[in-house]
Amino acid sequence: MAPPQNQGNEVLFCVRPAAFRLHYPGDSSVSSTAIYAYDWPFAIYLLSVAGLCGLMLIVSYIAGGRDWGRAKNDPFESGVVSSGGAQIRFSAKFYLVAMFFVIFDLEALFLFAWAVSIRESGWPGFIEVTIFIAVLLIGLVYLWRLGALDWAPAARKRRALKRLAAAQQAAR
């Protein structure tokens, strides 16, 4: 593609800096030093970030404590010396609650994004959100039927006995 030609007394304006406009082979209107002139702020930024990271590492090495001892290696949190082991077993219910929270939090996030752009998405967006909510509701009903939402051990035991009685009756 050939560069635009100036035809007479019309003036060609270039809004962008010379370093960012298209250059054609043989176009000597911009020197290579002008192209690199716009790279200096970025290079200074990169050098200052690397220097700041190095400075923080060096200062922490110099100012950091080097004392070793039994009290230094003990866990210490919020001004209280801990007692007991750090290996605490959490119930599976805790993880189920966490998974439910993440799932329904993401659902709320997607629904909020859809509600913001409801006019742009139109009917196809409404159908997609309806399918999305239906899939989540099917998953919720599945978890409910499976018993994942029963927190009390008595309810799970009753349900297990009911299933056992139904299986025994079906075997007869």
pLDDT along the chain (172 residues), means of 10: 52 46 53 65 93 96 79 70 70 77 85 89 91 89 79 74 87 80
CA dist 120 and 132 (Å) reads 18
Please tell me the predicted confidence (pLDDT) of residue 29: 58
Backbone angles phi, psi at 77, to 5 degrees: -140, 130
2 contacts 27 by C-beta, under 8 angstroms: no
Q: What is the pLDDT of residue 11?
A: 44
What residue ranges do the domains of the chain occupy?
Answer: 11-64, 92-171
- Topology, domain 92-171: Methane Monooxygenase Hydroxylase; Chain G, domain 1 (1.20.58)
All residues at 6 or more sequence positions from 147 whose CB lies less than 8 Å from its CB, including other chains: 155, 156, 159
Instruction: Quote the pTM value.
Output: 0.40
Q: How many CB atoms lie within 10 A of CB 37?
A: 13
Q: Which residues contact 132 (CB under 8 A, 6 or more apart)?
A: 107, 110
> What was the pLDDT predicted at 13?
42
Nearest 5°: the CA angle 87, 91, 97 is 120
CA-based torsion, 139, 140, 145, 146: positive or negative: positive
Closest CA to 103 of 148, 147, 136, 131: 136
In the block, tokens 């209280």 appear at 80
Q: Tell me if residue 1 falls in helix, strand or coil.
A: coil
pLDDT for residue 36: 66
Predicted confidence at residue 41, as pLDDT, reads: 85
Per-residue pLDDT, 50: 97
Q: Which of 47, 44, 41 is nearest to 19 (CA)?
A: 41
